[in-house]
Structure 1
């Protein structure tokens, strides 16, 4: 007899909305995380969310059935457009990622784009000429994102380099050009437009740099190897998820946290993150980092045996070895908290997973020529499709664009449906934060011409 079909995950939305209804809405201001005590920034006023909860439109009548084999996404999504635009009622400005354009008024005071954490003057934009903007992958479904604030980018870039050099001794002198070329300040400012201060952006920036350092030093270009990766990853993970052992052996573990650049960076970045986050936000991040490390191990196993996985297997690996830890902390970086019961909803986890999957295929597409030029065979979606489906390099690349586009459309459909089903302000804001991260991630890949160039397929 055929094997039974897996039981579909049950949505907890009706129960969650009921439990988190009026009480959670009334308590949303208290739940908002203000990290002024950590960073020295002034507390921010939080508008009462009870009277200002955004109205939610009903799902569109022609939404696909749950068991439909494919999702047909219309070109225009009014529900998604409304989700990304955010609430527009009186007093809801704090729930929007970016301010709506208002009519010019002679009585209107200009708003400050970045509350300064102290009385120091804002830094001047970096005078270095910026790299030319790249072109997007032809046919790639994406949303253009606003250019990140140059003043904020300059300050984040200055602070992260000071941290990398002075606090964690992250890289030798001959890596400086590559570190600068990564443009992590532009990346993180663009991905977190709702971060209230530079200090909040720095929470994500340190974690991003630490993750990238581990990937380079353990897995990729700078001495990485699949051989012995599991033990290195396990020990590095204890910088995020501390070891509790006997008094005899605790000092040896504590000393190991400084043994190499990735562990020093992980330890320091996590310390900053824990100071700014709640216990559940920190544990959520540890969980997603464990997922990431498991994905690294799968790819390393294939590399050791020179094995090219099936396309579906590769995509399964990429759901773990992907950007998921980044958008999952969007509320911490935004200065508020999405409660653990809401974050754990299967519907929200699906949205986060789809966002991570789509943004990681973006990386596969933009880094394609870079990886072809590197020694050895680097697995990415076009390479796997070409090998497993016997397609030309060009056809495999174009099919990879189609895979990305379907993931993006599904992400947007699921996010819009969740926004309609769960009209809580912090859920709405979190979904907009994840969408902004998706857009900012693409913009950084497109415009980082120092690292990436497109293949000549058009």
Structure 2
């Protein structure tokens, strides 16, 4: 429902904008450059007057206030190119709905990010052919590879917008944030910040969680701000469907005013996430990764460059003619930090949750269009898992906390993890089903173990040391492994050789990375507990895929024998979107069923219902309704991808029959995976309140426990890492 007038919200502006003194030089230079590239040849797209009114020189002078004149000219040319590309694509392909011509046009652009490009045929190609050799020589091959990837995302993902316009479809919120990162171009802007600020990220660190979250929270904030400013132009004037305000209107069934508030709250939360990551995650990251002073300097210059971009981008939005002016400027130049910004979503509100609240929630009936099939070896897997768990020590007292076991045989029987594995892989052999069940038991036990052993004491150092040891039980090539010291290590020492024995090294690396992502995400949860911080919604959804172990189980499916899906096909928008939708469905189902167990009995902070309660300031039932709507929308998206987008992709690439059969098998496995997980949650005795008790508080009992004894404890933990001569593949039993 559109409002008669559109009012910008009260923006959170924690940093003041600064202006580069070389502004006029950039304006003069880029005007001549655009003319030379032919960007004024078609007045329906641009003319000189229109470009001057949009004032990209001002934008870049605001967003890169410290770079010299030559660099500012280069950066401004890049932004002129990208905005011209956006308008050229709109006029040439979006309005005509020419999907085939659009794809051919985009595919050709890749050839201009090379040392020897073809002859350019239009201003977009001419501009890219000129910019590329002016930009990449100053940077490393690693940066060049990243810049190629984000530039390709920016151009190729324009098809995502075109497909939505073709079918008059508005994305669900999770899909929108993920795809907007690509087509919106802010990760591309972040790469240019590295260039302009002389702050190239060290290649070994660029993929680390703090760097990734800084870049992504920066990107999301840039895009959400742009959506608020561009709503009238894009939605009301151009019929655009890729705008978060419109996404919120459709998803929540609300009017424009409320959709603006939700979008702005999400923007504020992402800015707080950026600040939180810079202040609390970078320092331990520097220590953990032994980051040198020179590397730290470059990373901090990068952070400062992103802050300058946020402040300058807002200032430009208020001044540029590109966006229709609303009723008020929405926070003009300068800083704007109000009490509401500090106490609302992403701010202090996220630190005020009181644990162990007496909560209840009526569970909805999650949407599930797929049936469940069971494996005939189910009963054998049930019996084998109990035997294996006992041998690994899952029923034994845990060293370091009061003499009590985390699990009992009775508990494990009630969990019935074999039922979950049976539905996930109904066609597996008995041995494969038992192995899958053991992996589920190990991951679930580890998920219970870390909060009990490391959480109550806020022992992040101990958890990181434990993860460092677990990595040694997953060698890519045969190598000595440590002697297992606890049930988690013993289980992994047994599972790893049983799983990867026949895998090639590349597959082993992929599977190991998935396991590492899961165990590292447990440390992320512990860090939030140490700060009593309920996560930001976007960070939560993306980390939830890791804490749930979905990447790990899906990696096993991808590595199935006989699977013939090329690696580049897995990276397509269609297969990535399908897998992410399936993961989110399963994770959010778990959040619904585990809400009472986690919030009331465990003092947990990492549950989607609580995350939505905190973000919206609502009650449990309203939070559960949002989660149910999100998981339904993700299932609907999965259905659309598998029935419409995926067949179109396979036709477009002219996939052979073997690839089509492999893709169909992958789709079926994901359907089985989601259906089995829902069925298991409905039947397991892991979550009903009648099965639960409040746990006793765990205390460290090995060695000194008084004030000032943490160093002794860390030394004790570090001594566990001494090498042993146990051969790779050793499977210990008790």
Q: 1:63-78 to 2 correspondence within 5 Å?
A: 64=169, 68-69=241-242, 70=247
2:678 is the counterpart of 1:442: yes
The normalised TM-score by structure 1 is 0.63
CA contact 2:423–2:676 (8 Å) conserved in 1 = yes
1:395 lines up with 2:628 in the alignment: no
Q: How far, CA to CA, are the matches of 1:446 and 1:364 in structure 2?
A: 13
**Which of 413, 418, 435 is residue 646 of structure 2 equivalent to?**
418
Work out the CA distance in 1 between the residues paired with 2:168 and 2:671: 21
**Do the aligned partners of residues 377 and 155 (structure 1) sit closer, same or farther apart at CA in structure 2, a change above 3 Å counting?**
closer
- Counting only pairs closer than 5 Å after superposition, residues 275-424 of structure 1 correspond to structure 2 as 275-322=501-548, 323-332=550-559, 335-339=561-565, 341-342=567-568, 344-347=570-573, 348-416=575-643, 417-422=645-650, 423=655, 424=660
Deviates more, 1:292-301 or 1:169-178: 169-178
The Cα of 1:372 is off from its aligned counterpart by 2.6
Whether the 8 Å CA contact 1:211–1:266 is kept in 2: the answer is: no
Which structure is higher in helix share? 2
User: Following the alignment from structure 1 to structure 2, what is the Cα–Cα distance between the partners of residues 278 and 453?
Assistant: 45
List, as ranges, runs of 4+ consecutive aligned residues in structure 1 with deviation greater than 6 Å: 2-8
Report the alpha carbon displacement of residue 367 of structure 1 after superposing the two structures with TM: 0.6
Q: How many angstroms apart in 2 are the aligned matches of 1:356 and 1:146?
A: 17
Residues 143-179 of structure 1: CA deviation (Å, up to 9, x unaligned): 3533524x4110111222222223x333328611111
For residues 682 and 648 of structure 2, what CA distance do their matches in structure 1 show?
31
Structure 2: gaps of 5 or more residues = 1-58, 64-78, 87-102, 108-162, 171-178, 180-239, 252-361, 397-404, 691-734
CA contact (8 A) 1:445 1:452 kept: no
Please point out which of 433, 450, 453 is paired with 2:669: 433
Counterpart check, 1:62 vs 2:298 = no
Match of 1:232? 466
Task: Report how far residue 380 of structure 1 moved.
Answer: 0.5
RMSD (Å), alpha carbons = 3.6
With over 3 angstroms needed to count, the CA separation of the structure-2 counterparts of 1:393 and 1:64, relative to structure 1, is closer
Instruction: Name the residue aligned to 1:44.
Output: none
Query: How far did residue 328 of structure 1 move?
Result: 2.7
Deviations along 1:374-433, one digit per CA (max 9) or x if unpaired, are 142432111121122110111111111112112222233233322442252112211211
Offset at 1:274? Answer: 0.8
SS at structure 1 position matched to 2:546? coil
> Higher relative CO (CA 8 A, sep ≥ 6), structure 1 or 2?
1
Aligned match of 1:163: 388
Deviation at 1:343, TM superposition (A): 6.2
Q: Quick one: distance in 1 between partners of 2:363 and 2:619?
A: 18
> Could you list the runs of 5+ residues in structure 1 that have no partner in the other structure?
16-58, 74-135, 245-249
Please tell me whether Structure 1 or Structure 2 has the larger radius of gyration of its CA atoms.
2
Distance 2:646 2:427 in 1: 21
Q: Scaled by the length of structure 2, what TM-score is found? A: 0.41
Given that 2:377 and 2:433 are in contact with CA atoms closer than 8 Å, whether structure 1 keeps it comes out as: no
Matched, 1:185 2:418: yes
Q: Which residue of 2 aligns with 1:218?
A: 450
Q: CA deviation at 1:188?
A: 0.2
Task: Give the match's secondary structure for 2:668.
Answer: helix
d(CA) in 2 for partners of 1:364 and 1:182? Answer: 16
* Contact 1:308–1:384, Cα closer than 8 Å, also in 2: yes
Change (3 A) 1:64 1:377: closer
Partner in structure 2 of residue 22 of structure 1: none
In 1, are the aligned partners of 2:393 and 2:486 still within 8 Å (CA)?
no
Residue 296 to residue 437, structure 1, CA distance change in 2 (3 Å): same
1:148 partnered with 2:356: no
C-alpha spacing 1:297/1:343, structure 2 compared with 1 (3 Å): farther
Is the 2:584–2:634 contact (alpha carbons within 8 Å) kept by the matching residues of 1?
A: yes
Deviation string 1:248-287 (CA, Å, 9 cap, x unpaired) is: xx86xx334x111111111211111112444333222112
Residues in 2 aligned to 1:198 and 1:222: alpha-carbon distance in whole angstroms: 34
Contact 1:419 1:428 in 2 (8 A): no
For residues 414 and 329 of structure 1, do their structure 2 counterparts lie closer, same or farther at Cα, with a shift above 3 Å needed?
same
Query: Aligned pairs, how many?
Result: 332
Secondary structure at 1:320's aligned position in 2? helix
Evaluate the alpha carbon distance shift between residue 241 and residue 214 of structure 1 in structure 2; reply closer, same or farther with a 3 A threshold: farther
Q: CA deviation at 1:64?
A: 4.2
Q: Which residue of 2 aligns with 1:207?
A: 439
